[in-house]
Amino acid sequence: MARQRFLKARTMTDCMPSARKRIAHCCCGALRAETIDEPIVVAACSCQECQRRTGSAFGIGTFWSPDKVKIEGNATRFVRTADSGGRVVSYFCPQCGSTVYWEIPDLRPGWLAIAGGAFGHPDFPPPTMSIWERFKHEWVSIPVSQHLNGQPD
């Protein structure tokens, strides 16, 4: 029922027919992030925390200007220290536990990251960089132009 209300609700891109709109959401659909335009950058991250967060060998982070994102639904906040030493503030659905978005205020103030898999679209832009490759599993090959052992400057 809530999902139907969301789909029928007016969105921020209703008055912007030329803007590309995407919707990311958690497994149960209660926590959503609606974006317009394209992300600033898409990165594959092999840090140990992204591996734990996703339950996979790496995570895909899509980074946005907050004015291009509208968040709907309740989120639980979790703060941790990143491999870089800065804070990462993750927001996940209190119902299903899926991480949908996060902030890295000490490293990328003013940016909002959304989990690439939360969009669920095969035509989503691919990563252009692979970060924290010093933790990358040897069997993983990520076809990007920029490979970094840590965080980009």
Q: What are 34-75's pLDDT values in tens digits? A: 999 999 999 999 988 889 989 999 999 999 999 999 999 999
Residue-level pLDDT at 148: 79
Q: What total of structural domains would you count in the chain?
A: 1
The confidence score (pLDDT) of residue 1 equals 37
**In this structure, are strands 41-45 and 59-64 parallel, antiparallel, or unpaired?**
antiparallel
| Structural domain of 95 | 19-147
Q: Residue 113: inside a domain, yes or no?
A: yes
Q: Which of 128, 115, 145 minimizes the C-alpha distance to 32? A: 115
**Residue 3 in domain:** no
Q: What are phi and psi of 147, to 5 degrees?
A: -115, 120
Tokens matching residue 135: 């933790």
In a domain, 4, yes or no: no
pTM of the model: 0.81
Domain assignment present for residue 1? The answer is no
**Secondary structure of residue 56 in the 3-state scheme:** coil
Structural domain includes residue 9: no
Q: What is the mean pLDDT of residues 100-126?
A: 92
Evaluate whether residue 116 is within a structural domain: yes
Q: Is 51 a member of any domain? A: yes
Q: How far is CA 51 from CA 2, 33, 58, 60, 63, in A?
A: 31, 22, 5, 10, 18
Q: Is residue 152 situated within a structural domain?
A: no
Q: Which two tokens stand for residue 137?
A: 């599993």
CATH number at residue 68: 3.90.1590.10
CB 132 within 8 A of CB 117: no
